[in-house]
Structures are given as C-alpha cells and as structure tokens.
Amino acid sequence: MVSISQNTAMKKNGYEVHEPVAGIFLEKTGEKFTIYQAMKKHLLKPGTALALLEAQAATVGIIDPIGNRIFPVADAVKEGVVGPEMREKLLFAEKAISGYIDPYTNQIISVYQAMQKDLVPRDYGLRLLEAQIASKGIFDPVEKTSISTDAAIQKGLYEKALLSDQMSELKVFYNPSTQEYLNYQNLLETCTVEPETGLLLLPVCIAFKGLRKGISSSELLESKIIDKETYEDLQKGKTTTQDVMLIETVKEYLEGKGSIAGVADLSTNQRISIYQAMKQGILMPGTALILLEAQAATGFMIDPVGNKKYTVGEAIMHKLIGPECHLKLLSAERAVTGYKDPYSGETISLFQAMSKDLIVKEHGIRLLEAQIATGGIIDPINSHRLPIQVAFKRGYFDEKMNKILEDEGDDTKGFFDPNTEDNLTYLQLIERCVTDPGTGLCLLPLHDKSGKFNSSFIDYKTKTVFKTEKVKVTCGKYMGMTVSLWELLMSEYFNEHQRQDIFQKYKEGKLNISTIIKMILETIDTSVKATRTVFEGIRETVTAKQLVEAEIISEKVMKELEDGKKSIKDVIEDENVNVYLQGKDSIAGILLPDSQVITIYQARQKGKLMPGTALILLEAQAATGFIIDPIGNRKFSVDDAVKAKIVGPDVCQKLRSAERAVTGYKDPHDGKIISLFQAMQKDLILKDHGIRLLEAQIATGGIIDPVNSHRIPVHVAYKRGYFNEEMNQILSDPSDDTKGFFDPNTHENLTYLQLLARCVKDPGTGLCLLPLKSKSTKINIDDNMKDIFHRTIITVKYGRFKGSTTLWEAINSEYLSEDKRQDLFKLFRSRKITVEQLTVIIIDIIESKEIKQQAELNFEGLRGEVSVVDLLNLEIVDEKTYKSMIDGKLSSTDVMKMDSVRAYLQGTSCVAGLILQPSNQKLSINEAQKKGILTPGTALCLLEAQAATGFIVDPLKNQKLTVEEALREKVIGPQVYEKLLSAERAVTGYKDPYTEKREQLIRQYKSGALKLEEIIEILTVIITELSTKERKFKGLRKQVSASELLESKIISKEIFDKIMQGKISEENVTEIESIQKYLGATNCIAGVRVESTKIIMSIYEAKCRGLLTPGTSLILLEAQAATGFVIDPVNNKKLSVEEAVAQGVVGKEWKKKLLSAERAVTGYKDPYTGNTISLFQALKKDLIVKDHGIRLLEAQIATGGIIDPVHSHRVPVQVAYQRGYFDEEMNQILTDPDDDTKGFFDPNTKENLTYLQLIE
C-alpha cells in the first residue's frame, strides 16, 4: 500500500505526470466516493466503472480516495475498495504493470508487445495504453518505471501514431454529467483536483438529457429555463430531474415541440416517412429535402412508423434516409451540433454562422424559423433550446432577424404545402398538420380529392384547444402539477384507442371539455390505484417491500411507486435493480468455429464437450435461474427444458438438484426452505459442488434468496445467513478448490467468472456463448528450430535492435503481428524458405517500420507525412532511389525535385488564378468574381477544382492553403466555404455512412449462409444502386428495391441489369407473372358468391346474413389478413385491417384478431431482441399457437409463397429456408395433409380441408 501524497511527489524527467481518475465528487452534497461505491450508488454505469478501475490497475493500482491510499488489486478486494466480482478482470488489467509472459521466450513483456502477440485484445490494449499515456506514461514492466512515449518507441513498447483522439474504441467512458462517451484523456480534462491530496476526481452533477449531451441544472437556471426555487429543490433533493421534466415549458426547451415527422395519407390512414413519400412520388424531391433539413436542424431525423428519433448518421444506417441526401442533412444538422468558426476554431450557432456568411441567408432563415417554430433557438454548445431573451444575450439571435421572421414575407416562406401549393413558414405548415394519436407525432396530411378528413388523426385546431386547457392533477406522476389536457391525454395513462375515442366524440359534440377532464382524472386515479408494485422475480413475483428490505431500492422509490410517480418499468431500467431481479447471463450455449450456435447438451451429444464439462455448465445454468436455449433465445425450468428437448432425461435428476439453489432446499429438521449456502452448512450437499454453484451465482449477479426469489447484495446475504466471511475469503482467493469449471480450449481449471470472461456475446440474442476454437494452428517450435534461430545473428540498421541481435529475438519482437509470425514459422517449418531468406524478410519488416518513424526519410504529402517506404510500395520511387535515401546518398529534398515524385505528392498545377492582359495583373479567383470578370458559377467551379486537387491557391502570395486557412486569409469568401469544404473531402476523404450491411454480410459468410461469389454479387448490386437512381417496386406494405428482388432470387441478374440501365420500366417488370406473385398478387378466397342469385358479398357480410358461421368466416378473414390484405370483393379493393374496419368491410369486434393475423405480413416483434420476425419464426418461439400458425403459413404458401415481413414481399421456398422463414420439418408437415393441417371448412360439403384444397 502506498500513500497517494507520497506517490504524487514522484516526478519524471522531461514530462509531466498525472494520477488517473481516483474517484467521484458529487457536487450536490460535496461527498466523494470510490469508483466502486459510485457504481453501487448508480452514479456511474457499470461498464464505465470497470473501465476506470482497469485504468487505475494499469497505471498505479486501485485508489481509495477517501482513505488516500493505493492498493494492489488483491489487497483492494480484501479491503473492500472493490467487490470480489471484479477481481479477475482487474488482475488482468494489473498485468499492464507487472507484465505479461511471452509464450515463446518466457520473458516479461509490456501491454503493447502483448497486443502484438494476441495475448491482449487490441481494443482493450489500446485503452490501457491510453490510460498510461494520459496519466504517468507508458509503463516498462522490466524496468518497473513509467517512461515517455518517445522513450517507449525507442524500446519497442509503443509505436508512433498508434492512438488518436477520434478512435471510437477508446470512447468507453460515460460522463454522467454531460451524458456523452469520452476517451480517457478527454475524461481527465473534465476532472477537478482535490487541493488536500492532489487527487483527480470526476465531478458528477444533476444532469438533464439534452439534444446531444447532458445539461446541468445550473445551466438551466442560467438559461432561465428553471427558476431559483426549482434549482434549489433539485440541490436539496426535494424534487428530481424526472419531476422537472414533467413541466411542459422545460420539456419543450429540452426536447422541442416536435418537427413535421412524416406524411399522413388520409385516404389510406397510413403514416409514411418523408423520404419514403419522396421515393413513392408522393412528395417532390425539393419539398422532401427541405422538410428533412428542418428535421435535422431541429434535433433529430424522425421515423413516424417506428416512432424513433435518430441523428443523421444513425438515420442513414437504419435506412430512414438515402445516401443521396446524407451530406446536405449533415450540413443542416450543424444547426444543432454547431458550426466551426474557421476564423477562431470555436463552435458557433446557426445565426452566428449566417452572420459570418458561412451559410446562405435564405437557407439559414429557413432553418432558424423551423427551430423557433418547434420550441426555440438551439444553443449548440449547451445542447438545448433557449428563451428568446437569452438567445439575444448569447448572440444567437438579434432584433433585426426577429423582425425579418415576424414579417411573414416571401423571404421567410421557405416551405411548401403540397395540398394547396402555397409557400408557407414552417409554423404555418405545422398549423396545417395533423397529430398521430398513437405517437403524438406531427404529420403533414395528404388530402384525397374528396377532401374528406380521416378521423383517426387529430387536427391542429383540436390539439390547440386541448393544449390551452390546463388541469390540476391530484395523483400519479403529475401529482400537484397543473398540466395541459393535451399532455395528460398523450401520457402513458392512455392508449391510442382511448385517445382516438375521446377526440372523435369531442369532434362529434358527444363530449365537452369539462366531461373529458373529469374522465381523464378518473382514469389516472384508477390507473394509479391499480398499479401493482409487483416485479417479476426469478421464479415468483417480488413486491417493492421485499426489494426495500433487501436494500435493492429505497423507501423513497417505493413511495414513488405507490403514488404512481414511478412505474415498474422506470425502476427496472436501473441496471443494478434489474440484475438483482433477473441476474446477468450465465453461459447459455456453445459457439462452434464455423459460427454455428448449439446448446450445451447438443455439444455433449456431438462430442464437442466432455460429458462432465457439459453437466457442470448445465448445473451452473440451473443454479443461476434457468436452463437456456441459445438458438431460440428461451429460458426454461429443468422440467420444462426436458419437455422441450433442450436437455435429455439422463441429466434431469442432477439438474433438478442444482435447481434447488434457486427454488430452495428443504431443511429436514424443521421443513423450512433454506438457501444453497445454508444447505452446505448443514451438509445437505457436497462442499465442492456447493462452492461451484455459489460462485456461479455470484458471478452472474449475486447470491439467490430462494424464499424471496431474487438475488441480494452481499451484505444482505450476510445478514440473512446466506453467506459468511469465511466463504467470502474462499471465493476471493481462487485456488483449485474454487476453480470448478473447465476451459475446453486451454484445458485449464477456472472459476465461473474466469470462464465467463472468455465467452463472447451473440450479437443477435445478447446471450453469452462459450466459443470452441478449432484445433490450434500454432506451430510447435521444437528445440532444433529454436536453436537455429538462436544461433543466427542478424544485423539491423535501425530501431532497438540497431547493430546485431539473434533471429530468435527479432522474430519474437513487437515488430511482427502474431499472424505474420505464425506464417513465417510455417514457411520455415515446411522448408519453403531458408534461414537466410527468413533473415532478409525479418530485417525488411523491422527496417520498414523503423524508417517510417524517421523524420528525415518522410515527405510532405497533401495533408500529412508520407514515408519513403510507402513511396517504394506504391512504385513512386524505385529500389535504387530508396536505397540511396536509406544510405544517406540522397535527401528527401533531392527526391522531391524529381518531377514524377513531386507530381504524386503535391500534384501538378491547377488553375490558380487569372492574369489580365495587357497589364499582366494577377487576380485570385475570388477577386476576379468580385470584379465581375468571372460569373459566380464559373468561379465556384474553379475553386472547387482547387479544393478537390489539394489546396486553394493564392496566386499573389504564391501560397497553398486548406479551405479553412483560405477563408481566414480572405482568399475565398464565406459564402462558398461550405461548398468548398465538401469539395475538399475529395482530398481528405469521405465518411462511409454504412456499417450494418457490411457486418451482416460478414456474419452470413462466416455462418455459411452465403458463399463468396454470392457476396460479390450482392456488393456489385449495392454499388450499382448507389451509383445510379435507385429503382423501387411496390411491395405488400412498403417499397422493395431491385437489389432486394435480385437477392431474393425473384428477378434474374439479366433483368436487374436492364432495370439499372433503364432498359426496362418498373411497370414492365411487375407485369411479369412470376415476379407479380411475389410482390403482392394474391389469389386468396376474396368473398362469397351465392349461386342462386349470383350475388357477390364479402365474407363478413356472409356471416352477418347467416350464410357462414362466425368460426368459418373468421378463419377465412384471418387467411386474407395473413396473405396480404382484407378484400372487399364488391368494390374490388385490397385493404389493411385498419382500413377494412374503418370502411366497414369487417366489424370492429374482429379487429384485434385480424390485426394479430396481419402480423404474418407485417411481422411479429421478438420479445427477446425487439427484432421483426416472420410467422414461422414466431411459431418456433411459441409466440403463436401452433395450429393457428400452421393454418396461416399454409394459406401463404397456397397463395403465392411465404411472406418476408422485413422486406415486405413473398419469397421462393429456397430463400425462405436460407432466411430462417421455413424448414424441412415444417415442409414435411404441410406436404402430408392430415387433420393438423386441414384448418379450413367447406360449408357446402362440411369437410375439413387445407386452404389449397378449399381454393380448388
């Protein structure tokens, strides 16, 4: 143990040293906490707390800021500075100081060297290195001292430019005050130094969620968003941030009033995103772009169907918008995130950017007016909207601009109403919008020719009336507050149907405002009284009182639950509470080398795991809550798991015994239920077995209380007799007694926590999987091979081996990656290269890396340095020139004089300016435009060409400048700044907005679902689509791209190419019968024909007339809904269920059942992942009754094919197999019709038939 004050007194020569983040300072109370305490008090996220503690362990040791002490990890656990569950992870991080053992040389190596040998994951290693650099310097574990980065590079403990501020893998530290993820260096900069100890403490203040980051309560006070009384109540704990966010004015300044989120098609009652409306030809591209820019400039891009908000980058990844508008929307988004002032480098607001002519005036006015119309001008530095007077004060607005916006002339009418073709202000357009009762989002209505208004949407006038009416609330989360009637109706106390009903009756005059207020208050009161403060435990429900007694929640939280101010959902959103109720994941299954996931029992059956290893892992599942099916993402009791065939009956008894660790053991003396630990104490189970199960419980969230059916904190377990100090000591000091689990890859005995640390997360389900590695491909180096390498002396000109060293030292150094090292070992072992050839390769690798670090061997490129090694690899210089430079015979200046080299590095000259004849006067492009010699369009094209080829040129001073520098030097004007920055990206590079598709294809390739040739074809299609105008076709519920049709094998490559080349139209394609049947055509049973009268009627009407029984008609209507649309055979219309009910084609009493059947088209929501899944997948996950699911699936196949709900079209059978929408077993069931599959009834013959038979 070291005193911190002694430790801070140690200084290093030549550079400043800092301590790492030592703890947390809570501004509200002035208290300080250890990192671990802060996590337990929910002041820090668990992931951030672990990363901060790892940074401590990797730099100085674990810090106790209260006792002003530093501990090694093992001592920190004993002293309670950190919990035992973190011990293994922190011991691993501590190796950054103690050193890692080189598996080849058995020498101690550093973090960086361990990264190079794959002993440490790269992301993790980079994080530890950053922590060392940001605090005391890179640690040399051999010399036991911290050194500067330059010294570390010389010793091979680091490499130049390895880390950068922009690396996403470093941004893992969540700052709760600003609510943003930072790297360690940036986090240190937010810390305060405690004067008495010199400790760096992270200040944590009361923070509200802003548009892009957290906002402190003091900032809200300063911005006049909250008053002094509210601020003081927050500081004293009399009110919470949640309570303050219920104040409507506060909510509007922080979240806004809502921009126009999408389009409401009043003829079909559909909600459509603005981008989709453009793609479907409903909105003109110009109109759509302006509306999308308004979204971006007022906070977020909005998905009106999914009711989600995204940044521009997220919106493009979720395909809410297309790549063609990416850059324009990024530019508009700066109205929220701020513009960079090219003169000062500071962040400035939209209005300030306009004042500096950085954006076009008309464009700026449009975005500014949109901000004001949706709640107020946005302060990009503090990430919230402002009252107008505060905006004046901060320079974000002025009286002149206010007058322009108040005078609604043509200058300010930047938006277009597609219904009336009027130019309007954004506020005027919002006033013509409707509100979606389900989401509360503002939608631009598209009227049909009849001018009818669909009553399911709420008009602006009604909304205004309800917003104006204020109501005093006496219970629930709004207790004691005066809130608008609108706010109450749009709260979680009411669902969409209730809202629609109230608004409809109000419009019809059946309800007045006072009656509605009374109804609403009664509904809230009933809801609050009915709120059950009951949580879902492991096997039983758990009351709030039980959680208070277990010190999991506070009395205050329980009171808020009882008063209705907090919901069950609010409480379980707290990660720690949820862990005590549900636990963390146990090892759910096995991940095979080919990326296939199998259950632990299957792994045993297939010989992938030894029977003993598999049993122990299954016992750990049973003892921590449930047996897990990692394929279906389901949890079972032991008995249910046997029934579901997740495990076999041969292990049932042993797993039932392990399951008692959850349900409790029966004390043979008094018959009471006792815990696992108590059962061990009474010798009811073997000590080794009990320790293993107990350790698994602690590793997955905490000791289980079988009486109350939830996990409990360690100190509560002590009180209840479920744990004691002796057992804590045994588990804290892992020995062979506690290492009850086996790693099948390394054959090591481990604790459950250690084995969990070696697992991976399934990206689809989030479950923890134990990866089984394929047989090791590492070369076994025998003594003879090692001896040859030891005896071979090599001569190196650069780096830490300068002079001579052995081949053994060189090949095992940090200069080579582990993959490269193994490749070379293999080549040598197989005698494909000689020792002499190997020596040449190694020397070349070392010298190339070192030459890149030598400043005198680097050249100035367009935006950075370029090494002579790169020039050689790119064939810009030849071998002779390269060797002359290395030998010092040529300098970089000599080489730069060579025309070919200079052309590649600096480019040849572009049009730099103008020369006037006969005076020979030189003019810059900008000056020539100002003088009227060049038109603005010509000048812009010439300047864009300069920016895109390297630099903006000042021909008078013979200077080359970046766009930013050119603006500062007045070589260009601010009005072209944005456009030239865009052109300059041709030099600096563009950011790829897509990442998800790439990851999806990699996963499919690894799992064997796609072959390499198929991936190449998909990529070709994507590139073609992005480089040409995308062609879309009408699917069942949304547009389907040409590439999706090709990928689904619905169209051939030949047809796809013709579509992309414009040789065949969309209409021609959809007329092809084989394609038409997949996109929407259906031959389901549409209605009933009465043979005697030849009258055609709908199925529902036939039921109403007594021609069909209710059961038969419902089944036929469900088949319609599940195959695409409910059909009106009289008017020849295809309708969604909502539309069919609205138009009276079916009755309201069947709406719920038909909406359920319609999910076979629109998709079911997987309750585990939130993903959209198909009918068959829902059937497999037991989300629908088997008979019902088979009936709907058979109807789909009979009418054209299985429906893909994600892409909104039918798919060929082989594609359905590939996407997991069908399998061989289900095919067999449907191919061999028996009573199970004959789900339809012929009213004429009274037979049970399949749907296909009934159609026939």
Q: What is the 3-state secondary structure (H, E, C) of 625-658?
A: CCEEECCCCEEECHHHHHHCCCCCHHHHHHHHHH
CA 193 – CA 190 distance, rounded (Å): 10
Residue 14 has pLDDT above 60, yes or no: no
Domain boundary among 736, 771, 806: 771
pLDDT band at 451 (very low <50, low <70, confident <90, very high): low
Q: How many helices (H) and strands (E) does the chain have?
A: 66, 64
Q: Compare 664 and 1220 and report the one with higher pLDDT.
A: 664
User: Does residue 1153 share a domain with residue 1246?
Assistant: yes
pTM: 0.64
User: Picking from 391-400, 637-646, 1003-1012, which range would have the lowest pLDDT averaged per residue?
Assistant: 1003-1012
Check: CB of residue 242 under 8 Å from CB of residue 252.
Answer: no
Check: CB of residue 38 under 8 Å from CB of residue 48.
Answer: no
DSSP 8-state code for residue 1030: P
Q: Which residues contact 995 (CB under 8 A, 6 or more apart)?
A: 317
Domain boundary among 559, 576, 593: 576
Q: What are the Cα distances from residue 494, in Å, to 440, 462, 463?
A: 12, 17, 16
Determine, yes or no, domain membership for 318.
Answer: no
Residue 1002 has pLDDT above 80, yes or no: no
What confidence score (pLDDT) does residue 860 get?
Answer: 81
Determine, yes or no, domain membership for 458.
Answer: no
The pair of three-digit structure tokens given for residue 1058, joined into one six-digit string: 């013709």
What confidence score (pLDDT) does residue 9 get?
Answer: 35
User: Does residue 107 share a domain with residue 157?
Assistant: yes
pLDDT band at 3 (very low <50, low <70, confident <90, very high): very low
What confidence score (pLDDT) does residue 739 get?
Answer: 86
User: Does residue 67 share a domain with residue 170?
Assistant: yes
Determine, yes or no, domain membership for 133.
Answer: yes
Report, as an integer, the average pLDDT of 712-733.
85
Give the closest residue to 1135 by CA, choosing from 1117, 1160, 1115. 1117
Residue 387 has pLDDT above 90, yes or no: yes
What confidence score (pLDDT) does residue 782 get?
Answer: 83
What confidence score (pLDDT) does residue 1029 get?
Answer: 47
Q: Compare 1041 and 374 and report the one with higher pLDDT.
A: 374
Report, as an integer, the average pLDDT of 1095-1118.
89
User: Does residue 542 share a domain with residue 660?
Assistant: no
pLDDT band at 531 (very low <50, low <70, confident <90, very high): low
Give the DSSP H/E element, type plus range, for residue 273.
strand 270-273
What confidence score (pLDDT) does residue 15 get?
Answer: 41
| Helix-helix angle 818-829:835-853, to 10 degrees | 160
pLDDT band at 81 (very low <50, low <70, confident <90, very high): very high
User: Does residue 932 share a domain with residue 843?
Assistant: no
- pLDDT tens for 61-71 read 999 999 999 99
User: Does residue 870 share a domain with residue 788?
Assistant: no
What confidence score (pLDDT) does residue 60 get?
Answer: 94
- pLDDT tens for 772-792 read 886 656 777 888 888 999 999
- pLDDT tens for 148-168 read 998 998 888 998 888 887 787
pLDDT band at 999 (very low <50, low <70, confident <90, very high): low
What confidence score (pLDDT) does residue 693 get?
Answer: 93
Determine, yes or no, domain membership for 338.
Answer: no
User: Does residue 65 share a domain with residue 152?
Assistant: yes
Residue 90 has pLDDT above 60, yes or no: yes
CA 740 – CA 753 distance, rounded (Å): 11
User: Does residue 752 share a domain with residue 847?
Assistant: no
Give the closest residue to 38 by CA, choosing from 59, 60, 65. 65
The pair of three-digit structure tokens given for residue 759, joined into one six-digit string: 């697992």
User: Does residue 1164 share a domain with residue 1115?
Assistant: yes
pLDDT band at 1171 (very low <50, low <70, confident <90, very high): confident
Give the 3-state secondary structure of 910-963.
CCCEEEECCCCEEEEHHHHHHCCCCCHHHHHHHHHHHHHCCCEEECCCCEEECH
User: Does residue 1232 share a domain with residue 1117?
Assistant: yes
Residue 645 has pLDDT above 80, yes or no: yes
What confidence score (pLDDT) does residue 190 get?
Answer: 92
> Over the chain, what is the mean pLDDT?
86
Q: How many domains does the chain divide into?
A: 8
Please, what's the b/e burial string for 524-553 (b: 16 or more CB within 10 A of its CB; e: otherwise)? bbebbeebebebebbbeebbbebbbebebb
User: Does residue 829 share a domain with residue 700?
Assistant: no
What is the CA angle 1047-1049-1054, rounded to 5? Answer: 90
Check: CB of residue 444 under 8 Å from CB of residue 431.
Answer: no
Give the 3-state secondary structure of 683-720.
CCCCHHHHHHHHHHHHHCCCEEECCCCEEECHHHHHHH
* Boundaries of domain holding 935: 913-988
pLDDT band at 10 (very low <50, low <70, confident <90, very high): very low
- pLDDT tens for 1033-1061 read 888 888 888 878 888 888 888 888 788 77
pLDDT band at 5 (very low <50, low <70, confident <90, very high): very low
The pair of three-digit structure tokens given for residue 100, joined into one six-digit string: 């890692």
Please, what's the b/e burial string for 394-428 (b: 16 or more CB within 10 A of its CB; e: otherwise)? bebbeeebeebbeeeeeebbbbbbbeeeeebbbbb
Q: Compare 607 and 14 and report the one with higher pLDDT.
A: 607
What confidence score (pLDDT) does residue 500 get?
Answer: 87
DSSP SS3 for 448? coil
- pLDDT tens for 688-698 read 899 999 999 99
Determine, yes or no, domain membership for 258.
Answer: no
DSSP SS3 for 114? helix
pLDDT band at 624 (very low <50, low <70, confident <90, very high): very high
Report, as an integer, the average pLDDT of 395-403.
91
Q: 654 phi and psi, to 5 degrees? A: -65, -35
CATH number for the domain spanning 717: value is: 3.90.1290.10
DSSP 8-state code for residue 970: T
Distance spanning both ends of the chain, measured CA to CA = 85
Report, as an integer, the average pLDDT of 281-307.
94
- pLDDT tens for 106-148 read 899 999 999 888 888 888 899 999 999 999 899 999 999 999 9
User: Picking from 608-622, 1047-1061, 1166-1180, which range would have the lowest pLDDT averaged per residue?
Assistant: 1166-1180
β-strands 108-109, 100-101 pairing: antiparallel
What confidence score (pLDDT) does residue 380 get?
Answer: 95
Residue 821 has pLDDT above 80, yes or no: yes
Residue 995 has pLDDT above 70, yes or no: no
Give the DSSP H/E element, type plus range, for residue 1200.
none
Determine, yes or no, domain membership for 442.
Answer: no
What confidence score (pLDDT) does residue 1064 get?
Answer: 81
- pLDDT tens for 568-592 read 888 888 878 888 998 888 999 998 8
Report, as an integer, the average pLDDT of 439-465.
81
Check: CB of residue 77 under 8 Å from CB of residue 84.
Answer: yes
Residue 246 has pLDDT above 50, yes or no: yes
pLDDT band at 493 (very low <50, low <70, confident <90, very high): confident
1145-1151 long-range contacts (CB < 8 A, ≥24 apart) are 1145/1098, 1145/1100, 1146/1098, 1146/1100, 1146/1117, 1147/1100, 1147/1104, 1150/1100, 1150/1114, 1150/1117
Give the closest residue to 1134 by CA, choosing from 1036, 1038, 1068, 1255. 1036
Residue 1007 has pLDDT above 50, yes or no: no
Check: CB of residue 1121 under 8 Å from CB of residue 1154.
Answer: yes
- pLDDT tens for 320-338 read 998 888 889 999 999 999 9
Determine, yes or no, domain membership for 86.
Answer: yes
Give the closest residue to 270 by CA, choosing from 258, 280, 284, 257. 280
Domain boundary among 186, 205, 224: 205
Check: CB of residue 741 under 8 Å from CB of residue 755.
Answer: yes
Residue 349 has pLDDT above 90, yes or no: yes
User: Does residue 1135 share a domain with residue 1191?
Assistant: yes
Report, as an integer, the average pLDDT of 550-574.
84
DSSP SS3 for 587? strand
Determine, yes or no, domain membership for 1129.
Answer: yes
